[in-house]
Structure 1
């Protein structure tokens, strides 16, 4: 049983970087991947705040990238290759949506990282999310697609309300 979220974080970050690839060479790809991984890590830790939550996810599975692929149009490019689908089964749609929210809204990202103190994932582990919270010019240039609000809007819209409810417990959301 998986008591950690590493398979979900890896697959969901990979999905984001394939759906919204870096612009540039190898360094840009690495910078884009780090930003995606940091956003997905924060989102996953918020979504599954305890070891028990992570263990239950490991047993039940995250659901896969089917709807995300459909929303972004990536399903048409997958073809019939079964290997193209194997890692996608570990993509968590809600985590991808929450990560997209964090990548496109710096204030929300700040609030999300601050909320991590409520969970059990950061206990004893120094976590740094600089590339998510304060991207420099190289980071922004590398992840121009990954941080573009209009491009990520379909993914953001899937579960943004749940993230806002998680960060604002007890408050009524106004649309």
Structure 2
């Protein structure tokens, strides 16, 4: 994992869990966050496959959450709220869209993790077990993330950049370890 992606992954996962919150307590929130973080990590690694890509994203900035907030109908999408939550500037719209695709489509999530594994090899520890909550959520995971994994609710966000994800998976990303 490239260090430059850490703030993008953290902010984008936080955006997803706020837009599609867990249902039921602190434990459910932790399970929901784990699933969001795994999906965002896979999406970020696909989106920024090389150290140079990650560094450029860090320099240019990922763009922020404004458009995503409008699509998801976020209550706190006002300019004042955004100014009070600077983490939102680190949300990457494409990564959020790709993560939404992965969360709403288990087959696509399998393909994405397999693509990372093929490109990076065993050196980076991309065993499917590292993404168990994304790839094989148990009943507790599913209950906790009902909104986060609901394809109809995710559809507006997933549709933004689904074509780019499918293209990346079809062409086979040139990922660096």
TM-score scaled by structure 2? Answer: 0.88
CA distance in 2, matches of 1:60, 1:71: 23
Partner of 1:133 in structure 2? 135
Moved more, 133-142 or 2-11: 2-11
Structure 1 residue ranges, 4+ long, deviating more than 4 angstroms after superposition: 118-122
Question: Which secondary structure state, in structure 2, belongs to the residue aligned with residue 4 of structure 1?
Answer: helix
- Provide the secondary structure at the position in 2 that maps to 1:5: helix
Map 1:28-47 to 2 at 5 A.
28-47=28-47
- Identify unmatched segments of 5+ residues in structure 1: 171-175
Any residues of structure 2 matched to 1:46-85 within 5 Å, and which?
A: 46-74=46-74, 76-79=75-78, 80-81=80-81, 82-84=83-85
For the structure 1 residues 106 and 20, does the alpha-carbon distance in structure 2 shift closer, same or farther, using more than 3 Å as the test? Answer: same
Q: CA RMSD in A?
A: 1.8
The Cα offsets for residues 89-128 of structure 1, whole Å up to 9 and x where unpaired, read as 0000000000000000000000000011355597444550
Q: Which structure 2 residue ranges, 5 or more long, are not aligned?
A: 173-177
Counterpart of 2:4 in 1: which secondary structure? coil
CA distance in 2 between partners of 1:51 and 1:152 (Å): 29
Number of aligned positions between the proteins: 167
TM-score, length of structure 1 as denominator length:
0.89
Is the helix fraction higher in 1 or 2? 2
Cα separation, partners in 2 of 1:124 and 1:153, compared to 1, 3 Å: closer
Give the alignment of 1:162-173 within 5 angstroms: 162-169=164-171
